[in-house]
Structure 1
Amino acid sequence: MTSGWHHAFAVPAHGQSPHLRECLASLRAQTVPSPVFISTSTPSPWLGALAAEFDATLVAHGPNRGIGHDWNQAMAAAPATWVTLAHQDDVYLPHFVAETMRCVERQPRADLVMTGYAELAHRRTWTWTPMLAVKRLLEEQAFLGREAVSHRRSKRRLLAFGCAIPCPTVTLRRDRALGLFREDLKVDLDWDAWLRLADGPGAFARVRRLCMLHRIHADSETSDGIRAGVRAREDRAMFERLWPAPIARMLARLYAVGYEAGKP
């Protein structure tokens, strides 16, 4: 069941991120206001005070069972028709909700809406990196100038050469997304989720405009996964679902090189 809210932010919070305050401030600065729900398995007085400061609802769950469980719990905590899973280290520009919901109105068959984004690293905003360029190219070859794609082949083409759907930009139709994320994956749980959504009847839609800033830093889950070799293993498993084994191995190797080349 959802409430009367059309859109909400769900923030999976863990520990004491030094960037969470900036994230919450950006959610409160939206030109179209949306309620904010902070979901955590590590509640603390610090987090409670931060939630109160930004008029966010704090929802605790437990035990701590990993990132996939955190994301599923966050989606469940936000009772709205559309939910943005806002990553605690990222910044959402003031027009994010307005642009996303205008797209929803134009694309009533959509299950997923993604937006343009830039990266935050080394105290700078990067609107172009090799990895960003590759992801934008993958978007273009799937969307072919359209705002939305609904055919299974087009949606899978968006994901066939890597995860071209940037998770922090995504807003999901909540009734399609409850329990969506696999809890045994550590890095590619978003890629896996989008691939399963692609097999369904709903459309994927996009807002071309840059609407948020994704922070790249050494303590992120993705960075940890790359260092530990988890990303390479999960990438290969994902490619093997899409391609014959020899091609999957080649693409996984190219992707690993791309992560190094794509760093700002």
Structure 2
Amino acid sequence: MTQGLRHAFVVPAYGQSPYLRDCLASLRAQTRPSPIFISTSTPSRWLADQAAEFGATLVEHGPNRGIGHDWNQAIAAAPAEWVTLAHQDDLYLPHFAEETLRRVDGHPDAVLVMTDYGELAGAAARSWTPMLAIKRLLAEQAFLGRAMLGRRRAKWRLLAFGCAIPCPAVTLRRERALGLFREDLKVDLDWDAWLRLADGPGTFARVRRLCMLHRIHAGSETSDGVRAGVRAREDLAMFQRVWPAPIARVLARLYAVSYEVGEP
């Protein structure tokens, strides 16, 4: 195990994503370099070749037990104080690690650092969509111009009207993130994890600068979850954690409308 490692990227890789090479190239191009790990339950020669080409460490685990298990294994695979779960389809702008670690240095009690993000649809990068605007509004009403949230009530306010913390744009304090993700959830395992982190000590910190691009495509886990109706059920369960049942049902329906016209 690497000792004294400040930050690492770890990519939970599954199968042969056509976008993985672009993701790895974006991680290698960081202005503040961090080691790259690839964690997988589907090892292959192709994946080993990608790791070798981009200087990444390949860590295998098994068997394949779903996305929550993959994420937990990925966190465990990256022996650093801070870990970014870099989603294999997404792109990380060159300043992502630099901006994130600057925020870490300014808030030593942080347990989670989030950055702003845009979307990538095909070859088109989008810094504004109605959904991105809503998520930024949710973040603004929680942070109120600050760079961090320390009180439980403020952290829950960030998550009370939807999951305003974009999972691929998050960097976690590893010691608090080991085993963090529920393995019985399919879509909202990140929202659930942030709610539980919000209950504990430590601050949530925010970088307002756009630092990564989340790819929108029909084969993503979120898109699969929406089509299967899983997301609607899990969203309702999350809202019921925060609100009385009648309000939770209304919010869940409004949230569903948002991803009927575009992925949240």
Counterpart for residue 40 of structure 1: 40
Counterpart for residue 13 of structure 2: 13
Q: 1:201 to 1:263 in 2, by over 3 A?
A: closer
Q: What CA RMSD, in Å, does the superposition of the two structures yield over aligned residues?
A: 1.1
Matched, 1:170 2:176: no
Counterpart for residue 215 of structure 1: 215
CA contact (8 A) 1:6 1:80 kept: yes
Q: 1:263 offset after TM fit, Å?
A: 5.1
Q: Distance in 1 between matches of 2:123 and 2:24?
A: 19
Q: Distance in 2 between matches of 1:164 and 1:249?
A: 18
Q: 1:109 offset after TM fit, Å?
A: 0.9
Counterpart for residue 63 of structure 1: 63
CA contact (8 A) 1:51 1:58 kept: yes
Q: Distance in 1 between matches of 2:261 and 2:225?
A: 17
Q: Distance in 2 between matches of 1:2 and 1:255?
A: 42
Q: 1:262 offset after TM fit, Å?
A: 3.3
Q: Distance in 1 between matches of 2:170 and 2:263?
A: 22
Q: 1:261 offset after TM fit, Å?
A: 2.8
Percent of residue pairs bearing the same amino acid type: 79
Structure 2: where are the runs of 5+ without partners?
A: none
Structure 2 counterpart SS, 1:222: helix
Counterpart for residue 147 of structure 1: 147
Structure 1 counterpart SS, 2:184: coil
Q: Distance in 2 between matches of 1:250 and 1:131?
A: 18
Q: 1:2 offset after TM fit, Å?
A: 6.5
Q: Distance in 2 between matches of 1:240 and 1:123?
A: 38
Counterpart for residue 161 of structure 1: 161
Counterpart for residue 96 of structure 1: 96
CA contact (8 A) 2:110 2:203 kept: yes
Q: Distance in 1 between matches of 2:231 and 2:104?
A: 32
Q: Distance in 2 between matches of 1:9 and 1:147?
A: 23
Cα displacement string for residues 189-218 of structure 1 (whole angstroms, at most 9, x for unaligned residues): 000000000001100000000100000000
Counterpart for residue 113 of structure 1: 113
Q: Distance in 2 between matches of 1:134 and 1:84?
A: 24
CA contact (8 A) 1:129 1:262 kept: no
Structure 2 counterpart SS, 1:162: coil
Return the TM-score normalized by structure 1: 0.98
Q: Distance in 2 between matches of 1:165 and 1:129?
A: 16
CA contact (8 A) 2:8 2:84 kept: yes
Structure 2 counterpart SS, 1:210: strand
Q: 1:166-245 to 2 correspondence within 5 Å?
A: 166-245=166-245
Cα displacement string for residues 71-129 of structure 1 (whole angstroms, at most 9, x for unaligned residues): 00000000000000000000000000000000000111100000011000132111111
CA contact (8 A) 1:130 1:261 kept: no
Q: Distance in 2 between matches of 1:50 and 1:28?
A: 12
Return the TM-score normalized by structure 2: 0.98
